[in-house]
Chain A
Amino acid sequence: MAGIADPPDVAPVEDHSSELQEFTLRIRRFNPETGEAPYWEEHTVELAPHRSVLEGLLQAKARFDGSIGVRCSCRAAICGSCGVRVNGQPGLACHTHLDKALSTAKDGVIVVEPMGNMPVIKDLIVDMDAVHWKKIQRVTPWLINKTPIPEREYVVPRESMVDVTQTMACIQCGACVSDCLSMEVHPEFIGPAALAKAYRFVGDPRDAEQFERLNDLSEDPAGIYDCTHCFKCIEACPKGVAPMSQIMRLRRRAGSDHDIVDRNNGQRHEETMTKLIRDFGLLHEAEMLPRSYGGYSWFAKFSPAAGLELLDSLPVITRALLRRKVTPMKAIFGHKIPKGDLQSIQRIFEEIESKEERVEFNLYISGTDEDNAENVKEDDA
């Protein structure tokens, strides 16, 4: 008769996960009001390995030194208050397990520092107002209503709201701002968090000023075209917002949908690269610079903007030619792929560029076939 199976005849697995273990935290201390330089301080705490770095910090604060400055609230990766760097990587202290942190520690000590790119108020507390929130305010972070405002609710297509779901997952922790490599040398850059927030409204069909927003962010000399594609923000985000991907979507909308030709060469750079590949199959590097400055034409090199830029780069161009890094023939004619293959490439361009609607596949929303199959199984169960 079918029934509950007897338990298998094996020794029960011992669960050590709740046993206390010692972890040493090396905390960066700094109080600008004292006038003393920053210094490191180590405390050894005792906690179960699955407990968080935040719990470690709070224990150190309770047991050894009440003056350790750390900001926190929910302790459940929702409020975004406890952003820090653990072993150099940005993230939420409450969302980083001690055992995981220990596995990335270089000398067996977990290093906890304040986030980067923002001034330190005290110890692990950074001034979010001075940088992060200023930048958020910069992108007009609210919906600008279309008029007339409907008497009842707005009705919007489901897909368009799904499109902005990823940006709405942001909890404003500042981890992406902390590690933005463009901001590191260029503090004026609007930055990943604020630009992801900007896409939240640019992608919202209820917003009345999408063109104005995109025009503003394209023309800003520290706007969407100053992102260097370094993926740091994607790696840093504890919520999968992928701010860099949102910046690329802003560029796609600005350059391709609204044809905004910005003063930063952003749209022209994208157009040049895309069209050079269409026309040559490979990148014709010598044409990249003049056409990005002067527009997509062989004559671009004679435009004043391109001329000035070429002049500025003369020391580099001269050395490249002298060292035979670049031959004059290659600089003039570039390199191409075989004719038949180039025709295939151009056919693919034609097929895709002539579509009325651009196809975008976002893994965050669609998931993989594997994930979806598992979800179906779980639903059936």
Chain B
Amino acid sequence: MKVAYWPGCVSRGFTPELHGSVAQVAPLLDIELVELDRACCTGAGVIAEHNQELADALNARTFALAQQVEGADLMMNICSTCQGAQAECQERLDANAEYRSLVNEHLAPEGLSYEAGLTNKNFLWLLVEEIGLEKLTSLVRKPLTNLKVGPFYGCYIVRPTDRLGIDDAHPRDTYLAQVIEALGGTVIEYAGSHKCCGFPIITMNKEVSLKQAGRHLGDAVDANADCLVTPCPLCHLNLDLQQPLAERAAGRDLNMPVLHLPQLVGLALGLSPKDLGMARHVVKPTAVIDWSTSVVAGVGGASGGW
């Protein structure tokens, strides 16, 4: 399938391994990526906090660019925060024709216009709803047998449920668990899976932000997870990049690897940890889990990898 692909900022900035792993995984899943490289940051809710019309216009421009991609089935993003910020703007734009045309006036000089009704799915939703779990399982070359994975969703992709289309027919707040199972892994339930990583307030109240990250990581450790997986690069920043400081805030050792969703999928599809950029993490998954002989050969035995 062909998608208008919105990678977001952080996947091309401080978590380059995310963008890279999507490029590796997409061909294996038969996804053709047409990158929206002319679009700007979604504003992550902060521009909307500053000026709603501005956030809506900037995102309407991205949607309009996506709608111009010929033959694309839908728009795909790889960031929970982008999904949430875009869904918020899209909800307003789709709700009211008068407001939409007011916003479209800002796009007119470029010959762009957003038509209501764009389908914009996070990679996670696309995996379950477009590719399908059965198909995904059939593509697995190295099942994640014995790997205990804790899902970490990120707020923006699970709340508010009505805006994000989460209902009985689309239990999107359970999809990570379903994907982990489809890849052969074991889902670890722990208190923090649907909570906030704390990243949005890291510059305003660092202590509280890191306490949040530390608490969820600690809960995952206590539940015996081998690693966490997240569809959100901003959560990844607080859970992985900031983990040494989160350890300080939580007052305990954590040493919990955090994988990006496409990395976890890539491992099961047979890609190497190195190709998936796992050496770039602050808590190197390779230092904690031995991926060399099978995907999971045991926990804590490896000396640090490559």
Contact = CB atoms under 8 A, between A and B. Distances in A.
A183 to B, nearest CB: 10
Interface in B275-301: 279-282, 284
A352 B41 contact: no
Interface stretch (B130-138, B202-210, B254-262, B266-274): B202-210
B196 A181 contact: yes
Nearest to A271: B50
B160 A349 contact: no
Contact of A270 (B46, B56, B91, B155): B46
Range, interface on chain B? 35 or more
Contacts of A265: 203-204
A337 B282 contact: no
Contacts of A348: 54, 57-58, 61, 106-107
Interface stretch (A35-43, A149-157, A311-319): A311-319
B244 A274 contact: no
Contact of B203 (A274, A284, A292, A316): A292
Interface stretch (B10-18, B70-78, B221-229): B10-18
A107 B2 CA distance: 40
A325 B14 CA distance: 6
Nearest to A344: B110
Contact of B53 (A251, A264, A281, A359): A359
B201 A182 contact: yes
Interface stretch (B22-30, B94-102, B143-151, B179-187): B94-102
B274 to A, nearest CB: 12
Interface in B1-53: 9-10, 12-17, 37-41, 43-53
B46 A344 contact: no
Nearest to B284: A323
Range, interface on chain A? 35 or more
Nearest to B154: A230
A359 B208 contact: no
B296 to A, nearest CB: 22
Contact of B244 (A181, A283, A316, A360): A316
Nearest to B44: A273
A293 B47 contact: no
A229 B204 contact: no
A285 B9 contact: yes
B102 A182 contact: no
B38 A337 contact: yes
B47 A273 contact: yes
6 contacts: A185-B211, A230-B159, A283-B13, A312-B245, A355-B53, A358-B53
B172 interface: no
Nearest to A256: B50
A288 B13 CA distance: 12
Given A252-B51, A337-B39, A368 B201 contact: no
Contacts of B56: 361
Interface stretch (A197-205, A207-215, A220-228): A220-228
Contacts of A347: 106, 109
Given A270-B50, A349-B54, A337 B37 contact: yes
Given A252-B51, A282-B40, A345-B40, A359 B102 contact: yes
B241 interface: yes
Interface string A225-269: 111111110110000000000001001100110000000111001
Contacts of A229: 45, 155-156, 196, 200
Q: Which 4 A-B pairs have the closest CB atoms?
A: A231-B159, A230-B196, A283-B9, A368-B95
A284 B13 CA distance: 8
A341 to B, nearest CB: 4
A78 interface: no
B159 A269 contact: no
Interface in A318-348: 319-320, 323-326, 330, 334-335, 337-338, 341, 344-345, 347-348
A348 B41 CA distance: 14
A315 B245 contact: yes
Contacts of B96: 361, 366, 368-369
Nearest to B164: A231
B204 A363 contact: no
B161 interface: yes
Nearest to B196: A230
B280 to A, nearest CB: 5
Contacts of B47: 273-274, 277
B13 A335 contact: yes
Contacts of A274: 43, 46-47, 50-51, 54
A330 B13 contact: yes
Contact of A315 (B15, B195, B244, B279): B244
